[in-house]
Amino acid sequence: MDKISKGQRADYYERIERQHLSPLWESLHQLVPTKPIDACVPVLWRYQDVRPYLIEAGELISAEEAIRRVLILENPALRGLASTTSTLYAGLQLILPGETAPSHRHTQSALRLVVEGRGAYTVVNGERTTMEPGDFIITPSWAWHDHGNTASEGAEPVVWLDGLDIPIVRFLNAGFAQNGQEDSQPIRLQEGTSFARFGHNMVPVNHRHKGRTSPIFNYPYARSREALDNLLRFEEIDPCYGVKLTYTNPLTGSWAMPSIAAFIQLLPAGFDGLPSRSTDATVYVVVEGKGRATVGQQLFTFEEHDVFVVPSWVPVSFACAQDVVLFSFSDRPVQEFLGLWRESLQ
C-alpha cells in the first residue's frame, strides 16, 4: 500500500467527483462525531440593547406593510439562515396601538411569548385571545392567524417573542403558505372558548381532536406563575432546573406542540444550580428577574426580557440573587420521537 502516493489519491478523487461520487473515508469522523458539535453558538441578546432598534423599526415601517414587523434573533454562527439554533427560529415582534398584522397561514408551527405591553390580541382559527405579558400562545401548523393592537394611540407598544420551527420545515422541504382573503379573519368563537373547553383537566365528552397540537392556544401567565409558586412550596427544587414545568397538550399529556417543547421555570432567590446538558439546543427568554447563566465557557448576566441560546450538549447552570422566571423552548419532541434525546446531569 505504501507505493500509493498522495497524488494518485488526489487524482482519483478528482475523477470520481465528476461522477458525483465522494470517498466516505475522508469524512467519516465528521459524519458520525463522538458527541454533538452544534453549528450554533451561545449568544445573549440584551433587551435593553435590542428594544431601541425595535422601536426604530416602528418608525420606519408599519405592521401592515411589513406583514410581520419582526427582528430575527439570528445566531451569529448561522448568519443569513433565519436560525436562532440549528433547528429553531426566534424573533421579536412589535405591534403598535391601532395596528394590525394580516391573516395568513403556513405549515411552520409558531409560539409566542409576550414580552411587554398590553392591548394586543391574536386570532387563531376563528378565536381571539388577548395577549398579556408572560402568556404562552400557540399557532398550530396551517392555522389561520392575524394579530392586532386595540390600545388607543399613544399607549404602550406590544412586543412578543415568536418561536417557529422554520429550519426544521426548511430541511424537510415541507413549507406551504397562504394569505387570507381578508386582513382580519372572521371571529367564529367567543374569547375564552378553548380554555373553557380544555383548560380544567377535563374535555367535552364527544370531543374528537385533529392533529397533535394542544387545543389550548393561550396558556395565561397568571396560571403558570401560580403553578410555579405552588410547586415551590410543595416540592423540593431540582438542583439543576429549580422548579421547571413543561407545557402540555391536555388531550395527550404530551408536548403542547409536535415540533417544539416549551417550558417555564422558577429559580428562587439565592439559587445556585448545578450544570446540566442536553442534546436539544434551547432558546431562553427571561420573563422576570435577573441572574447569571454559565453556558459552556461563557458567563451571561441576564436581565428581564433578555434572550439567550444554549447549544446542543453545551453545559448550562443558573444562579440568581432574586427570583427568576425563565421561559424556554427547544426541538426536544422531534428528538424524543426519533429516540435521540439525551441529557447528562453533572
In the complex, least distance from residue 164 CB atom to ligand 1HN, rounded to whole angstroms: 5
Type of residue at 139: T
Distance separating alpha carbons of residues 127 and 186, to the nearest angstrom: 9
CA-nearest of 146, 145, 143, 141 to 165 is: 141
Among the listed residues 42, 91, 157, 315, the single contact to ligand 1HN using CB under 6 A:
91
Residue 73 found at the interface with ligand 1HN (CB under 6 A): no
Nearer to ligand 1HN, 130 or 294 (CB): 130
In the complex, least distance from residue 69 CB atom to ligand 1HN, rounded to whole angstroms: 9
A 10 A CB-CB count for 254 gives 16
Q: Which three cell numbers stand for residue 185?
A: 379573519
Residue 335 DSSP label: H
**Phi, psi of 24, rounded to the nearest 5 degrees:** -55, -35
Nearer to ligand 1HN, 90 or 325 (CB): 90
In the complex, least distance from residue 93 CB atom to ligand 1HN, rounded to whole angstroms: 6
Nearer to ligand 1HN, 73 or 166 (CB): 166
Enumerate residues 6+ apart whose C-beta is below 8 A from 336. none
Distance separating alpha carbons of residues 76 and 102, to the nearest angstrom: 30
Q: Which three cell numbers stand for residue 286?
A: 427571561
Nearer to ligand 1HN, 58 or 242 (CB): 58
Q: Which three cell numbers stand for residue 213?
A: 397540537
Among the listed residues 69, 145, 305, 332, the single contact to ligand 1HN using CB under 6 A:
145
Nearer to ligand 1HN, 68 or 290 (CB): 68
Binding mask 105-134 for ligand 1HN (x = CB under 6 A): -x---x------------------------
Among the listed residues 51, 68, 225, 244, the single contact to ligand 1HN using CB under 6 A:
68
Nearer to ligand 1HN, 99 or 162 (CB): 162
Residue 51 found at the interface with ligand 1HN (CB under 6 A): no
Q: Which H or E run contains 261?
A: strand 261-267
Residue entry with cell 412586543: 159
Residue 245, judged by CB atoms within 10 A of its CB (0-12, 13-18, 19+), counts as: middle
In the complex, least distance from residue 109 CB atom to ligand 1HN, rounded to whole angstroms: 10
Nearer to ligand 1HN, 94 or 316 (CB): 94
**Phi, psi of 319, rounded to the nearest 5 degrees:** -145, 145
Among the listed residues 43, 44, 63, 70, the single contact to ligand 1HN using CB under 6 A:
70
The SS3 of residue 43 is strand
Q: Which of residues 154-213 bind ligand 1HN (CB under 6 A)?
A: 162, 164, 166
307-310 vs 291-295, strand pairing mode: unpaired
Among the listed residues 75, 93, 213, 282, the single contact to ligand 1HN using CB under 6 A:
93
CB closest to ligand 1HN, residue no: 162
Enumerate residues 6+ apart whose C-beta is below 8 A from 94. 54, 55, 57, 58, 63, 69, 70, 157, 158, 159
Residue 140 found at the interface with ligand 1HN (CB under 6 A): no
Nearer to ligand 1HN, 83 or 328 (CB): 83
Binding positions for ligand 1HN, rule: CB under 6 A: 68, 70, 91, 93, 106, 110, 145, 162, 164, 166
